[in-house]
Amino acid sequence: MLKSEDFSDTSPLLENDDDQRVGEGEGQRRVSRRTSYFIVGLLFVVNLINYMDRYTLAGVLDQVQTYYGLDNSQDGLLQTVFVVTYMIFSPVFGYLGDRYPRKYLMAGGILFWSGVTLTGSFIDKNHFWVFLMLRALVGVGEASYVTVSTTIIGDLFHDRMRTKMLIVFNVAVPCGSGLGYIVGSNVAKLFGAWQWALRVTPGFGVICVILILILPEPTRGSADGGTNLSNTSFLRDLKELLTNKTLVLSSFGFTCVAFVTGTLALWSPIFILDSIKVQGREGDQSSVSLIFGVLTVVAGLTGVAIGGETSRRLKGRYPRADPIICAVGMLVGTPFLFFALYVSPYSTTIAWVLIFLGETAVCINWSIVNDILLYVVIPTRRALAAAGQIFLCHALGDAGSPYIIGLVSDALAKGYSHPATTPSVQFATLQVALYVTPFVSVLGGSFFLAASLFVVQDRETAKHITEQANAQSEVDDDRVEPTDNDFLSADLSYSVN
């Protein structure tokens, strides 16, 4: 059983103004407290740009649909191809992120995704397949950043201070998503062409690359006292991660989050626009995207803050609190999402309110899921664990959900005499297809509840391995093989320098 002192609000970096040793084979550089805060701020900005880039296209989806002459399934495919490459390349960068300097991986990835995003804005209407391919390549660049960014925060801060920094970092998820709708739709309106929406983020990406290359990188495990842990083989790492019940179950829970949020992110603006037209009123895509973007930002800020602060206050007394908080968020959000779909043809205002409440509830888990991963996995396996979680949540989550919803909508539209993209037909078919999201939300809550049964044991195991590695290194500086002791009984191995 974990004790309250295990969750003390201290960090090796923040107990005083002393600097922290960083670098691997690069001499003894120092990361000050101020620099650590700046690094988190920079990671926040990149994450903001990351999510802006993902959802800018959704804010101008009706214009893209008209420009390329797409149906609903092809609309969904734009998001799906991005997520597929993103999830496929995440394990590659996860493996590299546990073994090589992470800032170079991030810098290269950001530069790559900025370049292909900008290039995509120049593809003409006769070459949709080229545009589709470029959207897929964006996922390669983003995979290099997302898989390692939270591990850097994990190496800079500890326990409650780490939770605070993860709150800051994850606020960028809803804020970036919301800004994607707002900036994308309004920039397109300002310049009279949707292509300009894709020309906003690349410039900011280049600036971030320069700053990332200048800043130092913390030593893996430094905040947890695990700097003496060495890497084991990829297969060994994979085996240990797959037997980590908390990691696996929370990843399945987060997969359900990805399914729901990925579906709503792409389809909500066009669905609400159609619902307005069904009510006999005039609607404008830029206005709908602006409202949805603002709601997403506010809901995200509120949800991430509520989840992170609740976690910070409760887990010292209730060590199973984190996965339970995630479960509550998913289950509370379910009825709001269901009734938002139900009332949408009658009252857009009520639908907006319910969507806001549903998004707020779902966003509660964003920073907590990252925190769970960092404390149930030893430092030398965190990037791979993050990559595996990304792969799973996208493979079974938002990689296919937008496309599946589009396919179901198109299939239902065959029963109508009017074209599938007619507002009344598109609304009716999307409404039915989107009803799957509340049920997936319930499933996600169930996975998080199951994870709460194992989180205490898995956290203690990871902590014990890290402490044992340091204790052994103080006795013998040479590389040694693991001995027959308590932590080996959990079938987890390590090696020390």
196 in Cβ contact with 188 (< 8 Å): yes
User: What's the confidence (pLDDT) of residue 402?
Assistant: 76
pLDDT, one tens digit per residue, over 480-493 is 444 444 433 444 44
Phi, psi at 434, each rounded to 5°: -75, -10
The token pair at 358 is: 């549903």
Residue among 385, 381, 403 at smallest CA distance from 466: 381
pLDDT, one tens digit per residue, over 129-164 is 898 899 888 888 778 887 888 888 888 887 778 878
- Specify the range with the lowest mean pLDDT, choosing from 240-249, 280-289, 450-459: 280-289
Measured between alpha carbons, how far is 320 from 37 in angstroms, rounded to an integer?
29
Q: How confident is the model at residue 474 (pLDDT cuts 50, 70, 90)?
A: low
User: What's the confidence (pLDDT) of residue 17?
Assistant: 37
Please report the domains of the chain, with CATH numbers, ordered by start residue.
4-496 (1.20.1250.20)
User: What's the confidence (pLDDT) of residue 224?
Assistant: 65
Average pLDDT (252-265) is 88
Average pLDDT (168-185) is 80
Q: How confident is the model at residue 247 (pLDDT cuts 50, 70, 90)?
A: very high
pLDDT, one tens digit per residue, over 295-304 is 878 888 888 8
Residue 323 has pLDDT above 90, yes or no: yes
Element (H, E) at 310: helix 285-314
User: What's the confidence (pLDDT) of residue 268?
Assistant: 84
Residue scoring higher pLDDT (87 or 108): 108
Measured between alpha carbons, how far is 304 from 163 in angstroms, rounded to an integer?
11
Q: What is the pTM of this model?
A: 0.71
Element (H, E) at 421: none
pLDDT, one tens digit per residue, over 14-72 is 333 334 443 343 333 456 788 888 998 999 998 888 888 877 877 787 788 888 887 76
**% of the chain with per-residue pLDDT over 70:** 85
Residue 1 has pLDDT above 80, yes or no: no
Q: Return the CA Rg of the chain.
A: 23
Q: What is the C-alpha end-to-end distance of the chain, expressed in Å?
A: 30
Q: DSSP assignment of 2-70, as one string?
A: --GGGG-S--TTTSSS--EEE-SSS--EEE-HHHHHHHHHHHHHHHHHHHHHHHHHHHTHHHHHHHHT-
